[in-house]
Structure 1
């Protein structure tokens, strides 16, 4: 397979994941519900039992931590990555694990650089 075909497949499959409508997927629904719950909590005072002014139920930081947005976002991204992986598998690509040496070498190349793409192409070609 040529480098051009490899790049074309990569871009086409990445586009599928990027433009996926995740709004009806359960991880996205959980993410949205979390923000709605957080927003509702901010607008709901808790009355002071001593007859004083209302108090905030929890700090903003605590509310955000309870929502766990980082985990929810990872779950949404996993759906998108799954689409990309399926697309690549359907085109004959196989998943492989980098050796420690390959991983160190990969880290030398800036993300998005042609050198990094060429390095990954050589690895992918050897794995086929």
Structure 2
């Protein structure tokens, strides 16, 4: 049963794992490979997304920097009251220090960087299996929003789009160079 749940989630890598530069350029994309069978489509989705989804990232530089920053900010925020200066100047200095620490460690940047790294792993796998990324038209995007994420109807809709040779070829972005 767990594999089925993962498989259902894994079918979404075609929408979920996109580089930030691709997402910024247009709102909705998917991946396609004309002529791929539904069995192979599902298997490729799982094969490309599952290793990344299950990967332990604690050794990645971004995760280490994030944890280091979190721990520094946590220590700073949990200093005993007596160790903090009580006057206004001391409180302002403490606030400035907190802001500087957040800027130094920039947790959002670390999370975004790690997410982009993981997304690129999935993209590389999909491209290696012959898939191309392409934008959805406004009508396709509107229709996609009608389906519940993870639903069989949504997966069917994306599969039909991804196997349409005309749709994929005419709007492909990567041409195996992404």
TM-score w.r.t. the length of structure 1 is 0.78
1:22 — aligned with what?
Answer: 57
Of 65, 72, 76, which residue of structure 1 is paired with 2:110?
Answer: 72
Aligned length: 124
RMSD: 2.9
More strand by share: 2
Q: 1: distance between equivalents of 2:107 and 2:144?
A: 30
Give, in angstroms, the shift of residue 64 of structure 1: 9.7
Give, in angstroms, the shift of residue 11 of structure 1: 1.2
Question: Unmatched 5+ residue regions in structure 1?
Answer: none
TM-score w.r.t. the length of structure 2 is 0.59
Question: Unmatched 5+ residue regions in structure 2?
Answer: 1-35, 170-178
Higher relative contact order (CA 8 A, sep 6+): 2
Q: 1: distance between equivalents of 2:101 and 2:44?
A: 39
Q: Does 1:124 align with 2:159?
A: no
2:147 — aligned with what?
Answer: 109
2:119 — aligned with what?
Answer: 81
